Amino acid sequence: MRKIQSFVKRSGRLTASQEKGLTELWDDYAIEPQGVLDFAKIFGNNNDVALEIGFGNGDTLVAMAQENPELNYVGIEVYEAGIGRLINSAYIKQLSNLKVMRGDAVEFLNDNIADNSLARFQLFFPDPWHKKKHHKRRIVQQDFLSLLTKKLKIGSICHMATDWQDYAQQMMEMLEANKNFKNTQSAHTYTPRPEFRPLSKFEKRGNKLGHGVWDLIFTNR
């Protein structure tokens, strides 16, 4: 059976700084998974780990890592330009609490991330696959949530955001239907945009055009 991909690999020309992130700085910031990861060894401390899938150009993830040095951040992305940009930015800001993994997040969750090892999960503006026939490609499905809940510690935060209303509704339905997640708001209620989630250029542009954004923050139980 053909595996359904929830992402598209984008290709394009890299800037000099992006290329530097993927070559000269790669060994300092990239995680090359071989078996189950030991985050304490990777980061050199026992701080909680936050995982973000699909960080795009990386600007908001870098900002969060800079503002929360007590947390270790791991970002997973397939977009090479974004990975290179994030690594170069992390180097400029001398961040020691941010690492990157390149590839399929579902494979990493299955093969390389230990159960009960994550304190926070972030999924901001994933590909909405807006055509109805493509909704099966959306990453937020019950099988993904069942995998994710095993990797999260009890009481951990699961934070998602999207600017597609029908995807927000699907996220809400999926999360509330899963017995392992509990809405931090009342039932069927989205979370007001939290100040700790940095605004991306993409979101700022959408705000000017009047586009809505829906945040969902659940805890793992």
Residues forming the active site: 127
Token pair listed for 60: 């908001």
Encode burial over 3-27: b for 16+ CB neighbours within 10 A, e otherwise.
eeebbeeeeeebeeebebbbeebbe
Pairwise CA distance, residues 100 & 56, whole Å: 12
Strands 118-124 and 98-102, bridge-based pairing: unpaired
Which of 7, 160, 11 is closest to 82 using CA atoms?
11
Are 73 and 50 within 8 A, CB to CB? yes
Q: What angle do CA 52, 171, 47 make, to 5 degrees?
A: 25
